[in-house]
Structure 1
Amino acid sequence: MPANTDSGFNRVASFYDPLARLVYGSALQDAQSWLIPFIPHGAAILVIGGGSGWLLEKLLQHTSPQHILYLEASEKMLQMARQRNQHQTIVEFRQGTDADLHPGEQFDVVITPFILDLFPEKRLTQLMQRLYAVLIPEGVWLFADFCPVQQKPPFWQKLLAKSMYLFFGILSDVKAKQLPDYKTQFSELNLQEQATKSFNKGFVQAKVFRKV
C-alpha cells in the first residue's frame, strides 16, 4: 500500500458505498448493524477503518458512548465521515492507522468493519496485536467482514473474493490476495467468540469477541 497503509481508498471514496450496495445489497450494513446492540452503555469505542461514516452515524443514533475515536487512513473517507457527523463532541476524528494510536489509549470496544481482509498475514498479525493491546480486559471486539462459513466455499464466493482483491489491488493498492485465516488470528490472541451471524449466504459474517 502507499506510505499511509490504508490511504489508497482515497481513490474509491466517492463511490465505495454505492458500489458495495450494488454488489452485496444491504449485507455489509446489516452485518454492522447487528453488532450495535453488543456495545455497552458509556463505552469508549475505537472504530478503525470505518470509511465514509455510515456506521458512526448509526452508533451515535443507537448507543450512548462516552467517547468514540474514529481512526481512518483515507483523508477523503475521513472528511466524508466528519461532514456526515458534524457537531459531535464525543467523536475524535483522527487520520491514520493503528500506528497512530497514542500510548496509554484504552477502549471498551474495538470495531473492525471490513478492514481485516485488506492485509496479508504478517501485517494483519501486527494490526490485530496493536488493537488487542488497546482493548481493556473483558472488552468487546466487534468484527464484520468477508468470512465464508464453509471451509471450502462455493465457486461464486471464491470468484467474488478474487474479483474483489483484483479490483481493490489495482485501484487502492490492497496487498492481500486472499481472505485471511481469521479463526487462527483471533485464537492466538485468546479472544473468545461470544456470538456470530451470517449474511449474504454466509459470505459475510459478524462476530462478537471478548478479551479474557
Structure 2
Amino acid sequence: MNYAPIAPWYQPLSRIVFGDTLIRAQRLALEAVSSDSRLLIAGGGDGEILKHLQAWNGPVDFVEISAEMLRLARPKATPTTRFIHRDIFDFQPDHLYDVMLFPFLLDNFLPEDAEKLIVSLKPFLDKKGQVIVVDYTEKPSFWQKILLQTMYFFFRIVADVRVKTLPPIEKTMQQNGFQKTAGRTLFHTFIEIKHYTLI
C-alpha cells in the first residue's frame, strides 16, 4: 500500500464521508489512558491525532511508512514524539509500551499479515499494557458493506491497497492471548474502538 499520492487529500476526503469521526474515535480511544504512558502509534498517517495529544508527557513513537504522511505529521508533534519512517512490519522497538494504538491500520492487511503484525509487536507490550484497535466494524450492515466495498475499490486504485475485506481482528486478538476489556462504537456502529489486554 502507498498512501503518499493522496496524503494531502486524506483528511478532506475522510471528512466528506465521516466528518470528524475518524479522528474523534482515536481521541476517545486515548481519553482514559494516562498521559505519561509509553505510546506506540502504528501507522499514524498525517498525524492529525497528535493535535489532541499536546499535553501528553510520556514518550510517543509514531511509526509511518509514507514520507509524505510524516512530512504532514511533523508540525503537529508533541514534545515527546519520536517520528519513525519505517514499514511497521520492519519496526523493532527499543523499549516496552504501555499502549499500542492501531488507528485504521489493520483493515489494510490480509488476515495472515494482520496476525503477523500482532505477533511481532506483542513482546513489546508491557504486561499491564493495552492494545487499542480503532477500525471499521467486522459486522457491517448492508449500507456499510457497500461503503466498505467502495472504499476498498477507491484505495486499491489510488493507494495500492490490495485487500478487499476486513481481517478478523477480534478472532486474531483472541487467538494470540488478548481479551477485550472495553469497546465503543461511533457513526451508527460503523466505527469501533476496542481495548485489549493480555490474558
TM-score normalised according to structure 2 size: 0.93
Query: 1:108 corresponds to which residue?
Result: 98
Structure 1's consecutive aligned runs of 4 or more residues displaced over 3 angstroms after TM superposition are: none
May I ask how many residue pairs the two structures share in their alignment?
199
Q: Percent identity?
A: 30
Task: Kindly report which structure 2 residues correspond to 1:1-212, keeping only aligned pairs within 5 A, or say none.
Answer: 1=1, 8-61=2-55, 63-65=56-58, 67-85=59-77, 88-102=78-92, 104-148=94-138, 150=139, 153-212=140-199
Write out per-residue CA displacement over residues 167-191 of structure 1, whole angstroms, 9 at most, x where no aligned residue.
Answer: 1011111121101111111101221
Asked if 2 retains the 8 angstrom alpha-carbon contact of 1:136 and 1:211, the reply is no
* Separation (CA, whole Å) in 1 of partners of 2:117 and 2:51: 25
Write out per-residue CA displacement over residues 35-79 of structure 1, whole angstroms, 9 at most, x where no aligned residue.
Answer: 112322421111011111111221223x332x1110000110011
How far the C-alpha of 1:31 sits from its partner, in A, is: 1.2
Q: Report which stretch shifted further, 127-136 or 46-55.
A: 127-136
Secondary structure at the aligned position of 2:188 is classed as: helix
* Separation (CA, whole Å) in 1 of partners of 2:82 and 2:118: 21
Structure 2 portions without partners, runs of 5+: none
TM-score normalised according to structure 1 size: 0.88
Structure 1 portions without partners, runs of 5+: 2-7
Q: Which amino acid aligns with 1:137?
A: K
Q: Which amino acid aligns with 2:176?
A: L
* Separation (CA, whole Å) in 1 of partners of 2:112 and 2:75: 34
Distance 1:99 1:178, change over 3 A: closer
Q: What root-mean-square deviation, in Å, do the aligned CA atoms of Structure 1 and Structure 2 show?
A: 1.5
Asked if 2 retains the 8 angstrom alpha-carbon contact of 1:50 and 1:56, the reply is no
Secondary structure at the aligned position of 2:46 is classed as: coil
